[in-house]
Amino acid sequence: MSSTPEPVIDANLAVALDALLAEQSVTRAAARLHTSPAAMSRTLARLRRVLQDPLLVRAGQRMVPTPRAQALRDEAAAVVRRVGTLLSPDTGVDLTALRGTFTLQAADLVGAALVPGLLRLARQEAPGVSLRFRTEEMEAGPALRDGWIDLEVGAIDHVDPETRVEELVTLRLAAAVRPEHPLAEGPLTPEGLAAADHVVVSRRGRFTGPLDSALAERNLRRRVTVVLPGHLTAMMLAARSDVVCLVPVAPPGEAPSPLTDAVGALGLRLLDIPLPLPPLTIGMAWHPRHAADVGHRWLRDAVRRTVRGDVPPGPGPELEPELEPELEPELEPELEPEPEPD
């Protein structure tokens, strides 16, 4: 018969050992772990085989620990605490202690709408966090999977099957023109819209989109004079010329979207399009390995609040007050000594 102890791979043994050594009673240890005295007695027998020590021996009406058990008591308690920490949800992290950089991929208009709110939330809640924005230059699925980006925000379409996606807000398309545009006074008609010059936003260089399909059903066709990869450039062009630019806006009756902040900043006028166009859904996508990470959960919540306009007002970056230069004190003129009388 071999005397080699059986290998221990059951963390429950450490929990039972801690309870037995703390209570020094099979009955009380069983009650502490919500099990039966018979089951605890069997566990004690297994612990004795594993450790090759009686651990608890009877002394009159009670049980007392052996020297080996006394030596193991503090270590067993520490192991149980470490196991409890290991298997507990990671909810106690201090956000102010977070350090690192999150990389987000978003279209220029989405990035411009997110940055002010995200920076304000980071300054208030996680001041050690930095943000890096990339344009939509990479396919989201592989970029998320390979760790090049932490979060994709925008119109999520082509992602890997395992990618997590959350819809944030549903918007509609409106026409943006400068106040001096011939269409600015409205109301806008399909014929007037088709007769105008248009700028199309497409990072793939496409000239057509949902508006062209809606116009085609009325035997209308618009003239696209330029295709640009980003909304902000297209909106700047619309602010300086007579082209029409389509922009995402909140549906009627809902709070304005931060995505339309650039419209007001550029002085553009929004016109309702009298055609049925599909809604535009803005969402975010991330790889499942980040699903439970505390920092990434904060990032997703911050993006969620920013897109929905739930960012509390806060001060901008604190600047040191500029002090007026101190004036040097005026010196009394040095007088010539009076000559002594002869």
Q: Are residues 307 and 177 in the same domain?
A: yes
pLDDT computed for residue 7 by the predictor: 54
User: What's the one-letter identity of residue 135?
Assistant: T
Picking from 87, 109, 132, the residue at the C-terminal end of a domain is 87
Q: HSE on the CB side for 233, CA within 13 Å?
A: 12
Q: Is 337 contained in some domain?
A: no
pLDDT given for residue 180 in this prediction: 96
Q: Residue 169: CB partners within 8 Å, gap ≥ 6?
A: 250, 257, 281, 282, 307, 308
One digit per residue, the tens of pLDDT, for the chain of length 342 reads 445 555 555 778 888 899 999 889 999 998 888 889 999 999 999 999 999 999 999 888 888 999 998 998 888 888 888 777 666 665 556 788 888 999 999 999 999 999 999 999 999 999 999 999 998 776 777 888 888 999 999 988 777 888 899 999 999 999 999 999 999 987 899 999 999 999 999 988 899 999 999 999 999 999 999 999 999 999 999 999 999 999 999 888 887 888 888 888 999 999 999 999 999 999 999 999 998 888 999 999 999 999 888 787 765 444 333 344 444 444 444 445 555 554
**Residue-level pLDDT at 305:** 92
156 lies in some domain: yes
Measure CA 2 to chain center.
Answer: 57
Please check whether residues 198 and 119 belong to one and the same domain.
yes
DSSP structure string for 89-124: -S----GGG--EEEEEEE-HHHHHHHHHHHHHHHHH
- Range of 219's domain? 97-313
Q: The tokens 């339309």 sit on which residue? A: 260
d(C-alpha 233, C-alpha 134), whole Å: 16
Record the pTM: 0.66
Question: For residue 141, is it left (φ>0), alpha (ψ between -120 and 50) or beta?
Answer: alpha
For residue 285, list its beta bridge partners.
152, 165
Residues 203, 83 share a domain = no
What per-residue confidence (pLDDT) applies to 4? 54
Q: Report pLDDT for 301.
A: 94
In a domain, 302, yes or no: yes
Supply the DSSP symbol for 129.
E
DSSP 178-207: -TTSTTTTS---HHHHHHSEEEEE-TT--S
Write down the pLDDT at residue 331: 44
What CATH number is associated with residue 71? 1.10.10.10
- Which CATH number belongs to the domain containing residue 309 in this structure? 3.40.190.290
Cβ–Cβ under 8 Å, residues 109 and 232: yes
Residue 48 shares a structural domain with residue 108: no
Domain count, the chain: 2
